Structure 1
Amino acid sequence: MSTTPDPAAATADEAETEADTCYVGPIRIRRDQQGKTTDRRLLEWIDPRDAARRSDRTMRDSWRVLRIQSEFVAGFDAMSEVAEAVTVFGSARLHPESPEYSLGVRVGRALGEAGYAVITGGGPGAMEAANQGAHQAGAQSIGLNIELPFEQGLNPWVDLGMNFRYFFVRKTMFVKYAQAFVCLPGGMGTLDELFEALTLVQTKKVVRFPIVLVGSDFWGGLLDWMRDVLAARGMISPEDLDLLTVVDDPDDVVAAIEAATP
């Protein structure tokens, strides 16, 4: 009997309940009970004239180190058995009927059929699509979710999922356990991950780490700007553009990754 989940099978009441809840780290709460996110509290500016709050922050920050440490430990433990894997990024706002969503499913399936586990942010849209494709291929489908006031919740195609409080811990997991990044069409979060990966490769913090952009129409304008403005003005080296590979076909995603793997 097939164990493939059917997202459409959830009742309206279940869907409404899920929409009214969110996660704070591993804890599930109602959205109307949620305060500031953990990252926001960590980064919040404190007026230097407020001595009481400054003192309170000093104490709280010392204890936060233990929470941050525990999140790293939990992530390392959960991911310790992951072998060959590719991290896929893309917009959380893609609709399941969109061509970009279909492309994400095909990319996830192609990676899975090639023997790679697929790691995503675990949310909806492009992340859900890639997880769905990996699941259909029988590959390990991993979702690393983040505490947010919106666009949150592990999608039903995730086999191994975690909820993180801190972006920087989650980002470490994205890189540490992957041997390539694939970027589907996406927004701010996708661009953030893309340029962080580029910086890590450019500065040789990671080596032999292919970065594949899927969709020449979508990414073409950004690459033109990088070449005609950044490289032309000497703000990046022309060879930095070679760190990116642009493809349109899911099979070419796999080929680009394998070509860069020694």
Structure 2
Amino acid sequence: MSFLPISSGKLIEYLDNGRFICGYVTESQAKRVRLLNQNGRELNLPISRIVHCSTSNHSAGLDREALIKLLKDTTAKRHSLMELIDLEILWDLTNEEANDTFDPHFLAELSFGCSADDDIVSAFLRSVFKDKLFFRYREGKIKVHSPDKVNQLRTQLEKENEKEVLIASGIELVTRIIKQKDSQAPFSPLEEEILILIQNFYLYGGESDNADIARKLLKESGLSRPHDPYKLLVKSGVWKKNINIPLLRHNL
């Protein structure tokens, strides 16, 4: 990636566990910068981790608390600007261009319809990292996804959302079964689907369909012992206590 020379007084942004963090550069070296971040931490950061650097310098005369306030206020302003950005509209304007790679500053100006300052460019970059459907950040540039790529990502996101709904509903169902004394039947179609997932996971382990979903919902429900699924299925009334597991495994 390429930025203007990063010197003391610049505001930079980097990613930490997927979150944008704003920092004030106190010292700059060839490959690293010393900074104070919005959380009050001082650290040495490789320049390669920097996603955005301000074009303007900020006063070095501010004390530590004033700098932290500046960073927090800047973060809040940039976060609020994200609400004004519609990436899908911007994608409609750019996805048929011969060139599929653009400078973030240009796209930020195109999105806002005005000259883009540091806050606007940062808000645009934050939006791209938050919603990866239409654009991708790479080495300081923004790549526009093709229509086929967008459709592929949409399908993937829908599947991931369905998976999260299934896990959340599964945890709720398992918790209810554990707490209740009597059988919970009849179950809704979604609940029956979840119980079949758990049943197949107990019978066939990692070879069962959607084993990752069953494993996660059981773990997050506190059921991590090998025979916990069996006990749950018995308590739910789906299985009898003396059910023949080997016969079930062989579909007999």
Q: TM-score range by the shorter chain?
A: under 0.3
TM-score by length of 1: 0.27
TM-score relative to the length of structure 2: 0.28
**Higher Cα Rg: structure 1 or 2?**
2
Higher relative contact order (CA 8 A, sep 6+): 1
